[in-house]
Amino acid sequence: MSRVTLLSLQILVAVVALALWQFLTSVPVFGKILLPPFFFSNPVDVFSQIVNWFYTGVIWKHLAITLWESILAFVIGSAAGILVGFWFARQPRVAAVFDPYVKMANALPRVVLAPIFALWFGLGVWSKVALGVTLVFFIVFFNVYQGVKEVPTTVLDNGRMLGMSERQLMRHVYWPSALSWMFSSLHTSVGFAVVGAVVGEYLGAAAGLGYLIQQAEGTFDVGGVFAGMFVLSAFVILIDMAVTVVEKRLLVWRPTVAPRD
Amino acid sequence: MTGPTAVALDNATVAFRLADGRVYTAVEQANLAVAHGEFVAIVGPTGCGKSTLLNVAAGLLKPAAGTARIFDKQLSGLNRDAGYLFQADALFPWKTAIDNVAIGLEIRGTPRAEALARAQKWLGSVGLGAFANRYPHMLSGGQRKRVALAQVLIRDPKILLMDEPFGPLDAQTRQIMGNLLLELWTADRKAVLFVTHDLEEAIALADRVVIMSAGPGARIIGDWRIALPRPRDISEIRMEKDFHALHREIWSVLKDEVMKGYVQSSQAGAA
């Protein structure tokens, strides 16, 4: 399939879906409107809501808050994950002792922590960051742990035979290997940072995309809920594209990501 | 033999504890000496413990009994005089070819600019001058071996340990690599311990060919001096009469061990 055909088919899907949505919410079929606008809104209303948000500029504040929370959650969660991942991988005894608790903590659905974090950190930015950190931490932690553990013995022996000290092995062998594993899960961890922020906002906040959606829902403004969802997915897609660019630069040495020549 | 002994294994026995608690003796009482500047090849059937012996000389493995001496000093810890060329890919995949070669100097404290300049020269010596900025995955298997060779040689080790380094390569590339190795080796005659399962390769390259018996408890069962003239061309030398005579003689001993090793490994596979 050529690029043009593919793109036009992709656009066609959106057009058909939107048309169907508009049709079913506004034109009676057999004397009955199948999707009552009160529950399903309609594309025109949703679109005008989005335009209104951007036109009046109210959306920027919420976008900025959500972005800031996501960034903080990602940075703090990654730093902690790298630190603990390295520590556990280099100290198998520590890892063995903590193993059941790590599994337990990771098994817990993080949403249930949101009320506690709201109590501890208030309704501001930090309770959302805390929620995002608990999500990001485990992904980065597991990947770094694996990355340090999975350095091929031959590469390690080669480093030793070339005269590397433990510190040099850390810098030239373990660290790049761990980072490559972490980067390969960059999409997931960045995505989870956003999830943490939005879910946190939804459950109690004064600003952010999650708050916006929650507010609309509270006033039975279904159009507002859909508008918030569309803005949120566009936001996530943009972040994901940025991650792809970063990833391509960081993992040039990887056969799967680097362009073939 | 001339000069001091670069590598000496005295009654070296290597044993491993298996997962089920039994002890597996890979090599039993091996005695081997490599003189300074000598090229020794170890040949033996698959799984006889040739690589094990090499790892003892490298200090990566401690013998259960016996000793390894390097330039008349007992080896404890890693062998700092040796460069090791591995069978599997051992390059750092996250470093470019030139960084892979330069690293051996950099960790020793050589300034980066100087290390890079010398690495570029070594890449030239192995015929990869134009591939300095490629990552290992962008190179062919033979090219990766060349980088690995430069990576080891740039540190100018007194001893070169090679574990079936050309094993994964195709026949033509192996011959080209063999000639490259001989060319580089002739320049400053390091002591070389070269492990291979290919008798022809061993005879074509080495000053001495050592034969090991089939494992477990492999022993050194033969030691031939290869008096073929140097410089040699790996592909030409195989046509010569003396080569054939030596090959026939050594193969008559090796053949039985290869058969034994084959029977054992197929039994182990069936069990």
Cα–Cα distance list, B37 to A139, A192, B191, B200 (Å) = 53, 60, 4, 21
Reading the block at residue B23, the tokens are 């002890």
Residue B34, helix vs strand vs coil = strand
Query: What six digits make up the tokens of A65?
Result: 């808050």
Report the pLDDT value the prediction gives residue A19, as an integer from 0 to 100.
94
Tell me the chain A residues in contact with residue B151 when contact means C-beta distances shorter than 8 Å: 162
Quote the minimal CA–CA distance from A251 to chain B in Å: 8
Please calculate the CA angle B101-B105-B107 and round it to the nearest 5 degrees.
110
End-to-end Cα, chain A, rounded Å: 24
Per DSSP, what are the bridge partners of residue B30?
B12
Starting at the edge strand found earlier in the chain, the sheet holding B65-70 runs B23-35, B5-17, B65-70, B73-74
SS3 state at A21? helix
Average pLDDT, chain B: 89
Tell me, yes or no, if B77 comes closer than 8 A to chain A by beta carbon. no
Q: How close does chain A come to B4, measured CA to CA in Å?
A: 23
Taking the C-alpha atoms of residue A18 and residue A15, their distance in angstroms, rounded to an integer, is 5
Min distance B62 CA to chain A CA atoms (Å): 14
**Residues A182-192, mean pLDDT to the nearest whole number:** 88
Q: How far is A85 from chain B (nearest CA, A)?
A: 20
Q: Where are the alpha helices (DSSP H) in B83-170?
A: 97-106, 112-125, 141-153
pLDDT at B3: 63
pLDDT of residue B269: 57
Choice between B48 and A169, residue whose per-residue pLDDT is larger: A169
pLDDT for B176-205, tens place per residue?
999 999 999 998 899 999 999 899 999 999
What ipTM does the predicted assembly reach?
0.88
Q: How confident is the model at residue B48 (pLDDT cuts 50, 70, 90)?
A: confident
Angle at A10 between CA A4 and CA A13, to 5 degrees: 140
b/e map B231-267, b = 16+ CB within 10 Å? ebebeebeeeeebeebbeebeeebeebbeebeebeee
With CB atoms and an 8 Å threshold, state whether A154 touches B136.
no
Chain B positions in Cβ-Cβ contact with residue A158 (cut-off 8 Å): 84, 86, 90-92
The pLDDT tens digits of the residues spanning A74-93 come to 999 999 999 999 999 989 99
In A36-185, which ranges are continuous DSSP H helix?
37-40, 43-56, 58-90, 92-107, 114-121, 125-149, 153-161, 166-169, 175-184
Q: How far apart are CA B30 and CA A14, in angstroms?
A: 75
For residue A176, the chain B residue with the least C-alpha distance is B94
Q: Are A186 and A247 in contact (CB under 8 A)?
A: yes
Give the pLDDT mean for B121-126: 93
Task: Please report residues of A whose CB lies closer than 8 A to that of B150.
Answer: none
| Pick from B74, B36, B43: nearest CA to B57 | B74
Residue of B nearest to A164 (CA): B107
pTM: 0.81
The Cα–Cα gap between B131 and A118 comes to: 56
Determine the Cα–Cα distance for residues A209 and A198; give it in Å rounded to an integer. Answer: 6
Chain A nearest-CA residue for B96? A253
Do the Cβ atoms of A253 and B135 come within 8 Å? yes
How confident is the model at residue B51, as a pLDDT?
A: 87
Q: Which of A155, A157, A261 lies at the smallest CB-CB distance from B92?
A: A155
Which residue of chain B is at minimal alpha-carbon distance from A158?
A: B90
Please indicate if any CB of chain A lies within 8 Å of the CB of B88.
yes
